[in-house]
Structure 1
Amino acid sequence: MEADMATFFTADTHFGHAGILHGLRPGFASIEEHDELLIEAWNATVRPNDTVYHLGDFSLSKDAAYLERTFRRLNGRRKVLVVGNHDKRNRHLPWAEQHEGIHEISIEHRHLILCHYPMRSWPRAFRGSLHLYGHTHGLLPGTTQSQDVGVDVWSYRPVSLDEILERMASSDTQPEERVLTR
């Protein structure tokens, strides 16, 4: 059964946050249309038994009932939050885990540093550790070891580690700390 479960990463969904439509995500008629597209894209990617690491800014809505309904509509047996700057109201949701700041995990023999914010340097970078982040809505390009996993970068959906690794492999930009210490 373990083989049937996959792990995905995402960030910056901003469910219920109408302000996101005015700058970063124009083209949606309403926040309801935006949210429905994100839910559809999430559920087309994530299966019911999968794990999703959400690297912050799940929502910026004051409507707790709306957030609860939205959360429950999203596929995934385990949803883990790495808290972002807009997650004050999202902590009451039934996350499997919640983490402040940096969260370190290993998946498929890869050491990952998860944080809402991009970092110029991170633990174990010199040993091949990868850094996944959100917050920048695709404005800060990734490197051979770091990548924005936010929905703005990945067609409004969560992304697998294989897809992230493929994007990193296509980059010719080394992490700044590694370049400067050569």
Structure 2
Amino acid sequence: MSRFVVSDHHFGHANIIKYCDRPFTSVGDMDTTLLNRHFETVEPDDVVIHLGDVAMDMRTGEDTIEQMEAIGGDFLVQGNHDVGLSDGQAPFPVVDGCVLTHGEYTFYCTHRPEDVPDHWEGWVIHGHHHNNDLDTYPFLSYDQQRVNVGVDVLGFKPVSLETVTTLIDECDPGTHLKDIDAASDLT
């Protein structure tokens, strides 16, 4: 069993294709590709921690629940497009933030990195910023101790905590990896 983190699928959200310059011709094409890449990566016994914006679900939470169940999501850190869902409504925990540990690393997980508690001094795993400001919010910023797990920087699939910690171990101070593909040179 592995633990995976991912954010910002935006299932069913047509405008996200243009907003993030996603290489899809339609919402159906995007949703199908996201699901296929998810299941090429995640095994049924793996744990999926989603860091928000599962779907464009601003009212009831039904779309978020449906898509989380489709991907086998185990835990949701609520994003700004998941506001229709509250903890207790879903068959999985819904929180504003959480702490994960893997090996010697401890991560604060949140949708928006701006919401990290002031007292937190360690690594942060977040979403929200997609691929729209890779200078500030790349996949991995060693000096800022941040990892952006939005699907737009992950090749549209989740990343394991094992991969994240291995990459951090391989990085030198100053390392700034814009996306997961840039990380392939390290391993």
TM-score, reference length from structure 1: 0.77
Q: What residue number does 1:30 align with?
A: 26
Letter paired with 1:70: Q
Q: Does 1:15 align with 2:15?
A: no
| Matching of residues 80-95 of structure 1 within 5 Å | 80-91=75-86, 92-95=89-92
| Matching of residues 19-58 of structure 1 within 5 Å | 19-58=15-54
Q: What residue number does 1:110 align with?
A: 105
Distance apart, 1:115 and its partner CA: 0.8
Larger Rg: 1
Any unmatched runs of 5+ in structure 1?
Answer: 175-182
TM-score, reference length from structure 2: 0.75
8 Å contact 2:54–2:68 — kept in the other structure?
no
Letter paired with 1:30: S
Distance apart, 1:89 and its partner CA: 3.0
User: CA separation in 1, counterparts of 2:151 and 2:76?
Assistant: 15
Q: What residue number does 1:177 align with?
A: none
Letter paired with 1:37: T
User: CA separation in 2, counterparts of 1:6 and 1:80?
Assistant: 14
Letter paired with 1:173: G
Tell me the secondary structure at the aligned position of residue 47 of structure 1.
Answer: coil
Distance apart, 1:34 and its partner CA: 0.4
Q: What residue number does 1:72 align with?
A: 69
8 Å contact 1:122–1:131 — kept in the other structure?
no
8 Å contact 1:7–1:50 — kept in the other structure?
yes
Distance apart, 1:56 and its partner CA: 0.9
8 Å contact 1:9–1:160 — kept in the other structure?
yes
Distance apart, 1:90 and its partner CA: 4.5
User: CA separation in 2, counterparts of 1:170 and 1:104?
Assistant: 22
Any unmatched runs of 5+ in structure 2?
Answer: 176-187
Q: Does 1:143 align with 2:141?
A: yes
Q: What residue number does 1:180 align with?
A: none
User: CA separation in 2, counterparts of 1:52 and 1:28?
Assistant: 24
RMSD after superposition: 2.7
Q: What residue number does 2:183 align with?
A: none
8 Å contact 2:6–2:50 — kept in the other structure?
yes
Q: What residue number does 1:164 align with?
A: 164
Q: Does 1:133 align with 2:126?
A: yes
Distance apart, 1:86 and its partner CA: 0.8
For these two proteins, the number of residue pairs brought into alignment is 164
Tell me the secondary structure at the aligned position of residue 34 of structure 1.
Answer: helix
